[in-house]
Amino acid sequence: MSEDLRAEYDFTDAVKNPHLPAVADSEAQKALLWKKYLSKKKSFAKAQMLLAEFRRNDEPAYQQWLESFAGETLADTSFLRYEYTRYKENITMFDRLCRMEKVSQAEMAYRIQQICINENKFFWGVVRDKVTAAEQELEQLFRERINEYLRSREDSAENAKRIAETFERMQDKPFTPPPRKEPGVTESDSKELKKLYRTLCLRHHPDKTGYYDETLWLEIQNAYEIGSVRKLQDLMKRPVVNPDAQQGSLSCDDILAMTKAVEQEFKPVRAALKRAKRSIAWEFRKWPDSKRELAKELLRKRSENEHLGIKQLVAEKRQQVQSLLAADKRHKAVKITVSRVEGKKVLFNILLEYGVHTKELPLRVNPNATAGQIAEKCVITALGALKSPCRVDFSLPDDLAGELRKVEPGYICGDDLTNVLSRHIVEFNTEPLFRKAEAENITNKKI
């Protein structure tokens, strides 16, 4: 192989693998590297242009066309998908809280219901707060013990690695041991440290150099955090790459570094462009009318099937949440009966019965209120009088029972009605408030 071919061959390998040893600076090699760098920049710019064109024109036009014949189904599917996500998150949080507190689901549900009654809070809001507080407490305790252990051991590097792996398995997040500062950092060293750090940041800032070298910035940050003036002084010797400089003023290493930086920026753009090309909306504006008519029928069926599928998943999650909020033996059995006072259109009597104990609550409502509003106010008033979680058999007048707003298990919305219902196990007129029959029909329906 001739020397020129060997140089070209070695040079191509260096471009593909930046970890190879640096090549000798010759005009032929620099010309080849510069050509590859410009080609990479051109491809990068073209990919950015195509992706921006797709997001600005084709994708919105496709969405508008899709909503013209399947907008209602898509809107319902979007809400059901959001509802499914919330149910899933709530169930996961509740299970995690039970494991951290080491109690059963029924015990935890009763505790949270009692907190909601005492502090007038939302059920799932209390679950979220307790999970967050428990996680922070465990993480802080773990970090304190780890730091204390690391400071007391000489072979801390191996221990840090082993403990970091344990922490990642426990918390599903990376653990970074505290940086070790170099001993003997005086006040003058501190001033010099800050001066060198600011100088390096300004010298290698992307706004000035035109590209971002992640490795270099990590070295600068690490040296500053551990207080190493020596490392910062060594970094000051690094040359500053100017991508706008003429080809002749750049070395082969500089061009290789620039090519690597462009490739790093190109990766996410290339991945996004591949996803866009696989999308059905790619080049939508060029579709003929025949293709649009054929796609319309297929997409309508697909949206309907997707809607039924997510509806079935939501029904399953509702049943799962309902099983979490089952009655515990400590739930008191209470019977509540709402009746209209004879001769009074706007006055109702609420009777609470617990064993041999009874209590009556008079309730006056707005004469212009609808039946649904009256039923909701009766429920809120009656359940609000209970001071502990109960198993309630609730009876409403027939004209109000059918107008009461349905509340599904999971209590996604935290309004007054869902708040009071989340604190007790309630059945209305011997029928569960949560429509089990509807959920079963949805589950058994084939897609």
Provide the domain count of the chain.
2
Same domain, 154 and 46: yes
**Residue 356: which CATH number?**
3.30.420.10
* Exposure on the CB side of residue 78, measured as CA atoms within 13 A: 7
Burial letters for 302-311: b for 16+ Cβ neighbours within 10 Å, e otherwise?
A: ebeebbbebb
Q: Note whether residue 240 is domain-resident.
A: no
Domain limits for position 66 = 34-159+247-278
- pLDDT > 80? residue 310: yes
Asked if residue 302 belongs to a domain, the reply is: no
Q: What is the pLDDT of residues 317-366, one digit of tens each?
A: 888 888 887 777 788 889 999 888 876 667 888 899 988 888 888 888 88
d(C-alpha 226, C-alpha 244), whole Å:
34
Q: Indicate whether 256 and 370 sit together in one domain.
A: no
Q: Could you tell me if 386 and 257 lie in one domain?
A: no
Q: At what angle do helices 3-16 and 252-278 cross, to 10 degrees?
A: 60
What is the model's pLDDT at position 23? 47
Angstrom distance (rounded) from CA 420 to CA 422? 5
Determine the 3-state secondary structure of 330 from DSSP: coil
> Is position 395 within any domain?
yes
Q: Is the same domain home to 132 and 60? A: yes
Indicate the residue type of 155: D
Which of 278, 293, 322 represents a domain boundary (last residue)? Answer: 278
Q: Exposed, middle or buried, 176 (CB in 10 Å: 0-12/13-18/19+)?
A: exposed
| Cα 305 to Cα 22, 314, 437, distances in angstroms | 58, 14, 22
Whether 59 and 146 map to the same domain: the answer is yes
What pLDDT sits at residue 202? 79
Residue 165, SS3?
helix
Whether 355 and 418 share a structural domain? yes
pLDDT of residue 419: 81
Same domain, 273 and 152: yes
Indicate whether 153 and 74 sit together in one domain: yes
Which has the minimum average pLDDT: 238-242, 312-316, 421-425, 435-439? 435-439
